[in-house]
Every structure is written in structure tokens, then in C-alpha cells.
Amino acid sequence: MVHPRVLRAMSTPLLGHLDPEFLTIMNQVQTLLRAVFETQNPFTIAVSGTGSAGMEAALVNLIEPGDQVIVGVNGVFGTRMADIVGRAGGRSVKVEAPWGQIIDLPRLEGALKQAGAVKAVALVHAETSTGAHQPLEDAGALCRRHGALLIVDAVTSLGGVPVQVDAWGIDACYSGTQKCLSCPPGLAPLTLSPRALETLKARKTKVQSWYLDMSMIADYWTEGKRAYHHTAPISMVYALREALRLVVEEGLEARFARHRRHSAALMAGLATLGCEPQAQAGHRLPTLNCVHVPSGVDEAGVRKSLLAEFGIEIGGGLGPLAGQVWRIGLMGESSRHEHVVTLLSALEQIFRRHGWAKQTGHALAAAHQSYATSA
Ligand SMILES: *Cc1c(COP(=O)(O)O)cnc(C)c1O
């Protein structure tokens, strides 16, 4: 869901990409992004393109042919990172975990010790394909001890759960606009630490991608330089500024608490329908709620009914989880009480109709109970 203020911002008349008025808006976007990423990094920008452009930008700018990169692979997006590392000429060393589990820090440490020189460690903070919430508090220090950069995918976490770039020692962190920032798809927030910038500056080879070469794009985002590289997607920058203002107005802590509250209520309701969480206990995202479809239930049929009869879209499983799980986003503007109760009541009706549940009301009661006991 996108807030009406964001939609309205997108219909504002266009400015040129070098218009002083637009440059002011870019500066504001940078300031707001630093607040949301919890970083002081001067290099904090919005990359033109969706979240995957952010992923590609983070990887291709820091990796040179021959570099070893340790990639945590426990879902679709870790797999994608490893693919990009290879395309950039790097060698990915995968630290794998079953889908839904997190990547254990001791296993990462073992891989770092064994691999020899490692350029970077790449981890997905919020694995959207499984609902796993990767802990990162100690990952930066571990990487530093081994002289490796820490690259983090925060596409489904930024604006929904804490992402503390500076406190956690993250060197490159990217996100996307359409997940917890509740903005249309089209930009990828990206922040690079001074250490990452030094690595970029010290490259022996040119960045393999011209479009995503951050050494050139930095000059467009730097006050006093403002060198044209490619035309900025003007309306999207308006939208992102407004979406970030909404995040900051709500306050990060309040926003994270809201995500936790609605996720807890949804999961309590789903449990009464026999939907067990896919992600490891203690490491479940409130932004992406991934549950097993109870046996005997028509997975795709339920999603079809939800969309056709109730106007609710939930996700199916990706890759090896196709047909086995539902992925329910409660991100940004979508993390709301009415969405939780409407979905649970719709599911109860569908389950009852097909005889998968004997009666209705339990899921809603469990959600209400959760709301009553959460702060
Ligand atoms: C959605 C997503 C991406 C890719 O973003 P696009 O906007 O689809 O390009 C990358 N990583 C994660 C964890 C995501 O959820």
C-alpha cells in the first residue's frame, strides 16, 4: 500500500535533473535516508532501479575479478547475490542453511578462517522467500577481524525492523522502495561506508557495469560537483522523499513496534488454522510472514479466492517452497489492524467452506487476544 501523500507527490510537475530545486530535494532524500539507515555515511543515495539494482550496485562496485566473496545462502535472494558475484568475476563461497533457517555466525567465522583472503561477506537481512530474520549485530566486527567488507540486503527490512548500518559495521547496505518504505517500485536506497568507498577508489579494474558505476554516480550526488551521469527518475525521487518523511514522522521505534504488533496478531490467528511458521523460532520477520499451508488445503485455490472474492493478495512459495507456503507481507502502510482481521476472517470463511476448519471465529479471537496483550 502506498500512502496518498506519496501518490500526490508523484504527480507534482517535473523539474530538470540539474534544476537547483531538484538538487535540494536530492539533498533532503539523502538526509532522510541516513536517518532511516541509521548512518552518517556521506555516500547515501537512491540508485535508479529496483531493489535488484541496489544488490547489483553493491556487489559489482566492490568486487573485482578473482575476489572471493562469502555469501549466506538460505533462500532466493542469497542465491541471487551469489549469481551476481559470479557474473562480476568473483568467486562465491556459499555458506548455506536450510530455507527458513538463519546463517549461524560461527559457521561464517569458520568459512572466513578457511577461505583465506576474502573481499566481502554478503548477507540477506530479511529473506523474503522464507521470512527468516538474519541477526547482524556482530557480523560487522567479525568481518573486520578478517579484513572483509560486510554487504547487507535490507530490501524487506528497511523501514520495518531496525537496520543500524553504523552500529553494526555494515559497509554496503541496499534496499528497495516498494517493500517497507511503501513507495512504488523504482529506486534502490544504497549506503556505502568510508571503507567501502576506499575499496571502490582502489580498484585496479573498471566497474563492470557502466550504469551502476558508483564512482561516477557519486559525482552527481555530491554538492558542488553535480556532474551528469544519467537522468534521474524525477517523479520517483519526489515519491521517495515523501515516503521517507512519513517514516520519520511516525518515528522508527513506533514503526518497528507497529510491525511487531500486527505480525504477532496475524501469526496467532494463523496458528489456529494450522498454519505453522516456516522460519526458525526467534528469527521471524514481522514484515514477511511465511507459514506452511496445512496438508489437504488447496494452496493456489485459497490465494485465488482471496484475490477474487476479497481483494487480498498474498504470496505463494518461491523455488523449493512453491506450493508449500504462503508469504504474507505486512510491510509499511500495509501493516495495519484492518488488514490482519480482514485476511483472517477471509481465510476462516474459505477454510470453513471447504471443510478444512470446523468453525469460524477462532482465528479472529486469537488475533484479538494478541492485540489485547501486546503493548
Ligand atoms: C524484493 C527483494 C529484492 C529484489 O528487489 P526488486 O525490487 O524485486 O528488484 C532483493 N532482495 C530481497 C530480500 C527482496 O525481498
Task: Give the number of domains in the chain.
Answer: 2
pLDDT digits (tens, 9 = 90+) for 141-183: 999 999 999 999 999 999 999 999 999 999 999 999 999 999 9
> Is the domain of 105 the same as that of 33?
yes
Asked if residue 174 has its Cβ within 6 Å of ligand 1, the reply is no
- Binned at pLDDT 50, 70 and 90, residue 137 comes out as very high
Q: Is ligand 1 within 6 A of the CB of residue 57? A: no
For the chain, what is the mean pLDDT? 97
Statement to judge: residues 61 and 120 lie in one domain: yes
For a pocket test of ligand 1, which of 76, 99, 128 has the largest count of ligand atoms closer than 8 A to its C-beta?
128
Q: Judge contact between 70 and 111, C-beta under 8 A.
A: yes
Q: Are strands 187-192 and 172-174 parallel, antiparallel or unpaired?
A: antiparallel
- Write down the pLDDT at residue 337: 98
Whether residue 186 sits in one domain with residue 129:
yes
Q: How far apart are CA 69 and CA 81, in angstroms?
A: 10
Q: Ligand 1 in contact with 101 (CB < 6 A)?
A: no
Q: Are residues 203 and 305 in the same domain?
A: no
365 CA → ligand 1 middle, Å: 34
For 257-267, the pLDDT digits (tens) are: 999 999 999 99
Q: Same domain, yes or no, for 345 and 242?
A: no
Q: What is the dihedral of CA 95, 98, 102, 105, to 10 degrees?
A: -30
Claim to verify: residue 166 and residue 30 sit in the same structural domain: yes
Output the pLDDT for position 358.
86
**Distance between Cα 358 and ligand 1 center (Å):** 38
Question: Which atom of ligand 1 sits closest to the CA of residue 55?
Answer: 10
Say what the pLDDT of residue 177 is. Answer: 98
Tell whether ligand 1 has an atom less than 6 A from the beta carbon of residue 156.
yes
**pLDDT tens by residue, 195-219:** 999 999 999 999 999 999 999 999 9
Last residue of a domain, one of 194, 223, 250: 250
Q: Cα(211)–Cα(247) distance, rounded to whole angstroms? A: 29
The reported pLDDT for the residue numbered 198 is 98
- Are 129 and 157 in the same domain? yes
Find the CATH number of the domain harbouring 14. 3.40.640.10
Q: Which of 197, 225, 250 is the last residue of a domain?
A: 250
Question: Is residue 344 domain-shared with residue 198, that is, in the same domain?
Answer: no
Same domain? For 14 and 87 the reply is yes
Q: Give buried/exposed letters for 5-27 (b at 16+ CB in 10 A, else e).
A: ebeebbeeeebebeeeebbebbe
Q: Is the pLDDT of residue 374 over 90?
A: no
**CA distance linking residue 201 with residue 215, whole number of Å:** 8
Which residues share a beta bridge with 288? 329
Residue 155 beta carbon below 6 angstroms from any ligand 1 atom: yes
Report strand pairing: 91-96 vs 68-73: parallel
Q: Residue type for 336, please?
A: R
**In angstroms, rounded to a whole number, what is the distance separating the alpha carbons of residues 33 and 27?**
10
Q: How far apart are CA 180 and CA 160, in angstroms?
A: 5
Q: How far is the CA of 120 from the centre of ligand 1 (A)?
A: 20
Instruction: Let me know whether 209 and 306 are in one domain.
Output: no
Q: Is the pLDDT of residue 375 over 70?
A: no
d(CA 58, CA 45) in angstroms, rounded, equals 12
Q: Residue 272 is part of which domain span?
A: 252-374
pLDDT tens for each residue of 51-68? 999 999 999 999 999 999
Say if ligand 1 is within 6 A of residue 77 CB: yes
Q: Is the same domain home to 214 and 269?
A: no
Indicate whether residue 320 lines ligand 1 (CB < 6 A).
no
Cell reading at 83 = 549469481
C-alpha 370 – ligand 1 centre gap (Å) = 30
- Which of 76, 156, 290 should be mutated for ligand 1, with most atoms under 8 A from CB? 156
CB of residue 290 inside a 6 A radius of ligand 1: no
Last residue of a domain, one of 250, 282, 297: 250
Q: Which atom of ligand 1 is nearest to the CA of 288?
A: 15
Q: Domain of 265: which CATH number?
A: 3.90.1150.10
Q: Quick one: 294 exposed, middle or buried, by C-beta within 10 A (0-12, 13-18, 19+)?
A: middle
Triad 268, 269, 274: Cα angle to 5°: 95
Q: What is the pLDDT of residues 277-311, one digit of tens each?
A: 999 999 999 999 999 999 999 999 999 999 999 99
pLDDT value at residue 309: 97
What pLDDT shows up at residue 303?
98
Q: Report the 10 Å Cβ neighbour count for 339.
A: 18
Residues 152 and 287 occupy one common structural domain: no
Judge contact between 244 and 25, C-beta under 8 A.
Answer: no
Q: Which atom of ligand 1 is nearest to the CA of 53?
A: 9
